[in-house]
Structure 1
Amino acid sequence: MRKTQYSRLSAFYFFYFAALGAFLPYWALYLKSLNFNANEIGELLAIVMVSKVASPYLFSWISDHIQKRLVIIQASMFVSVVVFAGVIPFQSYWWFAFVMAAFGFFWNAALPLYEALTLNHLEHDTSLYSSIRLWGSVGFIVVALVLPLIIGGSHISLLPLIILALLIANTVTTFLVDDRTPKSSHQSSQTHIIETLKKPIVLAFLFACFFQSLSHGAYYTFFTIYLEDHGYSRGFSGAMWALGVLAEVGLFIVMKRLLTKFSVCHLFAMALFITAIRWVMLALYVDSIVLLFISQLFHAASFGLFHACSIYLAHSLFPGRLQGRGQALYAGVSFGLGGTLGHLLSGYAWDSQGAIWTFLSSAIIALIGAIIASKYITKERLSGYANNT
């Protein structure tokens, strides 16, 4: 791959996850500053995620049929910018719900399409994916560290403008890359998505992804609030977010070497088991800085390792013209359905059951996903599946 193309592909990830780095850790705080309660915060964040259930698949279905993937990415990013600007003039619950639904519908559609585009650029050297994707983690880290210096104290009201600027930059990067369609698209055109979804290994993969993202709901919704409730500063909270993503960057750097030594199936199951341990530590030992640091380092596995393995598995399980829809199904079932229910249920559990039981419940959910992965997603099953497609 040419260095110029590598840089341009990486730029999209940098700004996409920089925007996420502003949104995910701090949007709940912004909503809290507008006097929304925990239930409302959970609902508004869930609304953003619920669009991931349908919109990525809808846009990917269109893309796989008209073979204009990049145009659809550009359009979805442009509309997401216009829609997000709507949070600035009005601040009622129902207006926010409408804007978050529309914003999520278009913004969430872009990433799975771009994942497929990136893998098509890489062709057979998909192990390079992690070295490109790590720039998204770098963007997240930069924003997570710098943003508290800007919005600290009474300046949280600047957050929507900052996110909007990052979304605009992200949109610009989509005009710097070339479109690329899969070379095997004609050969695989007869493969029907329903037939693929009937395969046990595909179903197991989607269920495991669902439970993994469901378990992250409390973390993504309330982690910053949780730390502040235990006496930590906003700057420290930002540093903890950055530490987790820094660990994720380290994972992406060594991912290619890990894949030469271990099966992607084993790594996938390991990621889910470590996630369960992470939520137990966060539930019981948040007041121990050392154990809190360790639990954040586990983000390397709970997101970095999990996501990298999921991208490889989705690419293998959904070949040819199904690639776009495969990535969309992964995003929709995992971050869409699982993420939506995670945000929603954690919001209700936080007030009724408390933080400790909410995170312990998250650990149980992650453990269910780990058991499914270790039993049904094996190297032998994956090899057999590949030989039959």
Structure 2
Amino acid sequence: MAQSSLPVPSLFATRCALAYAAALGVNGVLLPFFPVWLKSLSLDDFQIGIILTVPIVLRVLSAPIAGMLADRLPERARVLVFSAALSLVSALALTLADGFWMVLLVFSLQGAAFAPFTPVLESITVTGVRRWGYRYGSIRVWGSIGFVAMSLIAGEAMARSSGSVVPWAASAAFLLTLIAAFGVPRLGRANGSSEPGPRQSADSGLGGRLTLLMIGCTLVQSTHGMYYGFSAIHWQAMGFGGTEIGFLWSAGVLAEILFFFLSGRIARRISPNALILFGSAAAVLRWCLFVLPLDFWPALLLQCSHAFSFAFLHFGIQQKIVEQVHESRESSVQGTYFFYSGAFLAASTFLSGALYREFGQPAYLAMAAVAAIGLWLNTRAARPQPQSMGSGG
């Protein structure tokens, strides 16, 4: 990949890595423990499903708009500061919320406010990958490390006190995110189309195959909706404590961390398409096994498959975006990817509430079926085109 002659911001990789660590640290609090806090408010599974779904819908609407706006701003990082500040305010308001409607309102506003943060941060990071040859995996891995750290801290805090600590822990994580947002590298407006990226298509990478691949990947990743919403509740019902639940969540992310550390070597040997197809197949198998009543250690081992069902797909699609999308469309394309991700995750999370209430743990078989559809779509998108061989493809 050709390197840019533009000056490299000081500590570019470190500053992006800290922002990832803080932002995904928020998920380390909310994903494992927010449903447990909702359960402590005496909300039923259907209400929990609604509360988890509506913010995703709002994120679906706000992320693409924010992505297009970021591509037009003199400085994309401004969106990060605005997003983190509003999210912190909403998290503090959540400490005072009580009852279904109030929690739904505040958490929905938080979802809309925080939606632009990750796709815009991804666009800034991928710009560095494209301009100066940074390794995406070595930067993104710190987001997973932040997730594990906050998950363990929040789990220990919940074990020592109660679920009421969750909104306060989320507020602390959002404060760190706001601080990190001020430190994200300022790259100015994205370069114009005079410097095309490698193998850039005429439509800036939004051709049918990349779009189909984004849909397939996000469809597979949406099957994590039931896992995000109800795994902690299931493990708690099985007698696992807050610390054990924190370790179960962390195990998958630790496997993800290992992958990101090795991603540079892996990417030299395995194509993005192969990573995506393997990860899709692993997701089908993961949810088939998830229906089994596993003890702690087998459950911990199964959690390590998260590196395949999530990290392989995420890294693979980001590599495809680097290959095919021009910098001037980076935030817009990341917003589109986030749109597909949010739309399918919202549908999955909404259905999960009803399915889990009706069938319990066997409802994960429905997630396996959805992952199988995503695998089929990814297989079609990755299939080589004979007419694409040579310069006239």
The reply to whether TM is greater than 0.5 is yes
Are 1:258 and 2:266 matched, yes or no?
yes
Are 1:9 and 2:16 matched, yes or no?
yes
Q: What residue number does 1:366 align with?
A: 371
Q: Aligned partners of 1:270 and 1:305: how far apart in 2?
A: 8
1:138 to 142, 145, 159: 145
Specify whether residues 386 and 114 from structure 1 end up closer, same or farther in structure 2 by C-alpha distance, changes over 3 A only: farther
Aligned residues: 382
Question: What SS does structure 2 have at the residue aligned with 1:152?
Answer: helix
Report the alpha carbon displacement of residue 342 of structure 1 after superposing the two structures with TM: 1.5
In the TM superposition, 1:63-102 aligns within 5 A as 63-102=70-109
Specify whether residues 308 and 382 from structure 1 end up closer, same or farther in structure 2 by C-alpha distance, changes over 3 A only: farther
Q: What residue number does 1:340 align with?
A: 346
- Read off the aligned partner of 2:375 and give its amino acid letter: A
Q: What residue number does 1:158 align with?
A: 165
When the two structures are superposed, what TM-score results if normalisation uses the length of structure 2? 0.90
Contact 1:315 1:327 in 2 (8 A): no
1:106 to 108, 113, 116: 113
Q: What residue number does 1:329 align with?
A: 336
Are 1:229 and 2:237 matched, yes or no?
yes
Are 1:207 and 2:248 matched, yes or no?
no
Which deviates more, 146-155 or 320-329? Answer: 146-155
When the two structures are superposed, what TM-score results if normalisation uses the length of structure 1? 0.91
Q: Aligned partners of 1:210 and 1:59: how far apart in 2?
A: 19
Q: Aligned partners of 1:383 and 1:187: how far apart in 2?
A: 26
Instruction: Deviation per CA, 1:307-327: give whole Å up to 9, x if none.
Output: 111222233343232111111
Q: What residue number does 1:268 align with?
A: 276
Contact 1:201 1:382 in 2 (8 A): no
Q: What residue number does 1:299 align with?
A: 306
Contact 2:9 2:185 in 1 (8 A): no
Are 1:241 and 2:249 matched, yes or no?
yes
The structure carrying a bigger helix percent of its residues is 1
Q: Aligned partners of 1:305 and 1:339: how far apart in 2?
A: 18
Question: What SS does structure 2 have at the residue aligned with 1:231?
Answer: coil
Q: Aligned partners of 1:164 and 1:363: how far apart in 2?
A: 34
Specify whether residues 217 and 28 from structure 1 end up closer, same or farther in structure 2 by C-alpha distance, changes over 3 A only: same
Specify whether residues 30 and 289 from structure 1 end up closer, same or farther in structure 2 by C-alpha distance, changes over 3 A only: closer
- Over the matched positions of the two proteins, sequence identity in percent amounts to 22
Specify whether residues 381 and 318 from structure 1 end up closer, same or farther in structure 2 by C-alpha distance, changes over 3 A only: farther
Q: Aligned partners of 1:385 and 1:329: how far apart in 2?
A: 28
2:289 to 281, 290, 296: 281
Specify whether residues 6 and 272 from structure 1 end up closer, same or farther in structure 2 by C-alpha distance, changes over 3 A only: same
Report the alpha carbon displacement of residue 2 of structure 1 after superposing the two structures with TM: 7.1
Question: What SS does structure 1 have at the residue aligned with 2:350?
Answer: helix
Unmatched segments (≥5 aa) in structure 2? 1-7
Contact 1:230 1:287 in 2 (8 A): no
In the TM superposition, 1:12-51 aligns within 5 A as 12-51=19-58
Q: Aligned partners of 2:390 and 2:177: how far apart in 1?
A: 35
Q: Aligned partners of 2:285 and 2:133: how far apart in 1?
A: 30
Contact 1:210 1:338 in 2 (8 A): yes
Q: Aligned partners of 2:321 and 2:285: how far apart in 1?
A: 25
Q: Aligned partners of 2:386 and 2:49: how far apart in 1?
A: 37
Question: What SS does structure 1 have at the residue aligned with 2:291?
Answer: helix
Q: Aligned partners of 2:385 and 2:285: how far apart in 1?
A: 27
Instruction: Deviation per CA, 1:127-183: give whole Å up to 9, x if none.
Output: 611111111111111122222221116422121111101101111111113222443
Report the alpha carbon displacement of residue 203 of structure 1 after superposing the two structures with TM: 2.8
- Read off the aligned partner of 1:360 and give its amino acid letter: L
